[in-house]
Structures are given as structure tokens and as C-alpha cells.
Amino acid sequence: MNSIVVLGAKGQLGSEIKKIESEFSGLNITYTDVDELDITNLSKLKLFFNNRRFSYIINAAAYTAVDKAETEEKKAMQVNVEGVTNLARLAANFKSHLIHISTDYVFDGKANKPYNEDSPTNPLNVYGRTKQKSEVEALRHVDTMVIRTSWLYSTFGNNFVKTIVRLAKEKNELRIVYDQIGSPTYAEDLARAILTIIQQQVHHKNVFKRGIYHFANHGVCSWYDFAKEIVNYFNLPCKVKPILSDDYPTPAKRPAYSVLHCQKFIETFEQEIPYWRDSLHRCLSTLKI
């Protein structure tokens, strides 16, 4: 009843789930990543799920290289769409609950107020399109929860926070875009939110609340503000200058505004969400620089 498998377990989110697992009692969690279980390999997946029964499948596996996806569309599609199609089918066969993670990049960023779960999607890049399709595939299974999050960072893996710390130590000046607005989200907070949902369900026999939810740390900022906060936290003598996205062309176009409205998550699961600066400081306090 409480057995869980985390796919893509060596990534940021998967590693954070493993890190905080001990805060939760009575959850029996198995961790696996692509080296052991490739979600695009249906026969291996079948074998894996035939041998073990899981009440919950947490899909933290994904192709997440946003710029590279522009030239690796097939690979991104395979992992983010075909892989998720496989998981949804198996979850249905084995009567497991599927918790799938998606992104703010399913939106085009033309809004001027936070996106709701039912706001129309219109991704601007290949990665976003694959994740939009992944949501459709995941939701074919009746017991699926899709949690969209944004600007994920962690002490594990490569991410914006670690890149800024490294560059700020190497350079005198960083030029960071200030016309893309979103909500940085500490993967530890998302990990805790997911395990709390499962624990609530296991302990209180709540029904599984299928559907789409938004989860991002509270508050908004630009990438420039995010970088400045990191540099200031460590008192690094590096200047951070705001620039326009047009002055920093990237292969993948990104939404100018991708703030997620998270009220549905807060009300449904009765969980508070931390403010982005508080979470960032918590993460930075554990980084050795």
C-alpha cells in the first residue's frame, strides 16, 4: 500500500527525495535511474514492474537539456513523451498512482498574471512541447497527478545556482537576463511536498487527487535577481549586470513570464509553500564554496 518507486532518481528531484526520505515514516521507497531502468525501454520496464508492485510511481526522469533539445528533438521526445506513455500504461496495468512532473515552459509567457492549471498551454521550445505532450500521455491513466514546477535548483546536479556560484568566483562581471520572470523552486521543497501528499493519502486513506497542480516557491523574480541574490549571499566581489534576452541569444526561446499560480495545490493538500528567497538561503547554507 505504501511502496513507491522514484524514476530518474539521480537527478535533482530524485536526489532530494532520497535526502529527505527519513523525515517520513512508513514509506518504502525504491530508487532507480536510466543506468538501471530506462523509461523508454518498455520490455525492461515490464520486467521491472512484473517483479515488484508499487502503489506510487514518481516520475522524476526526464530529458531536461532545454537548449540541446532544439537539436535533439527525437531524443527529447523519446524520453519525455514515449517514456511517459510507457509509464502511464504500466501504472494502469498495475493499478499504481502516477505522479509526473512537468514545467512552466508549457506556457508561452505572454500572460501578465500567474498561470492557472487550466490556462492554455503554448510552449515556445522543443523541451516545452515534449513536456506538454508528456502531460497528455500521463493523464491518459486515471490515477495521475501532474505537478508543474519552475526554475528547479538543488545542491545536486547542475543548475543555475551552482553555475552562478562557479562563474562568480571566476569572473569580475556577470550579465544576466532580467526580462524573464518566474519563481525559482528548491527541489527539496518539491520533494517534501510530494512525499507529504503520499503520506497524507497512506495515513489518512485520502482519495488520490488526480489532475494538474502547480507547485513553485512563492514570490517572483528575474534570472538577474536570482543571480544577484546568490552572489550577495556569498559576498562574492563579482558585479551582476541586467541584460535583455535579445542580448543573450540561446538556441531555445524561453517564456518572458512563467509564474505559476499555486493556490489549488495549497488548498487541496493543505500545505504551505516557502518563499523563494528563504528556500534559496536554506539551499545556499548547505553549499560549500
Ligand X SMILES: NC(=O)c1ccc[n+]([C@@H]2O[C@H](COP(=O)([O-])OP(=O)(O)OC[C@H]3O[C@@H](n4cnc5c(N)ncnc54)[C@H](OP(=O)(O)O)[C@@H]3O)[C@@H](O)[C@H]2O)c1
The residues binding ligand X (CB under 6 A) are: 7-8, 10-13, 33-34, 38-40, 60-64, 79, 83, 101, 103, 131, 149-152, 157, 187
Nearer to ligand X, 172 or 176 (CB): 176
Nearer to ligand X, 150 or 279 (CB): 150
CB of 137 to ligand X, least distance (A): 13
What CA–CA distances, in Å, run from 184 to 78, 161, 190?
A: 27, 10, 11
Question: What contacts 202, CB < 8 A, 6 or more positions away?
Answer: 1, 2, 26, 27, 55
Nearer to ligand X, 63 or 233 (CB): 63
CB of 268 to ligand X, least distance (A): 20
User: Has 127 been annotated as catalytic?
Assistant: yes
Nearer to ligand X, 107 or 178 (CB): 107
CB of 131 to ligand X, least distance (A): 6
CB of 205 to ligand X, least distance (A): 28
Cα separation, 135 vs 152, in Å, equals 18
Q: Which of 56, 115, 127, 213 is catalytic?
A: 127
Which residue's CB comes closest to ligand X?
11
User: Taking the mean position of all CA atoms in its chain, how far away is CA 71?
Assistant: 22
CB of 263 to ligand X, least distance (A): 19
Return the C-alpha torsion angle 163, 166, 171, 175, nearest 10. 20
Give strand pairing partners of 214. Answer: 148
CB of 226 to ligand X, least distance (A): 12
Amino acid at 267: E
Nearer to ligand X, 85 or 149 (CB): 149
Nearer to ligand X, 98 or 206 (CB): 98
Which active-site residues does the annotation give?
Answer: 127
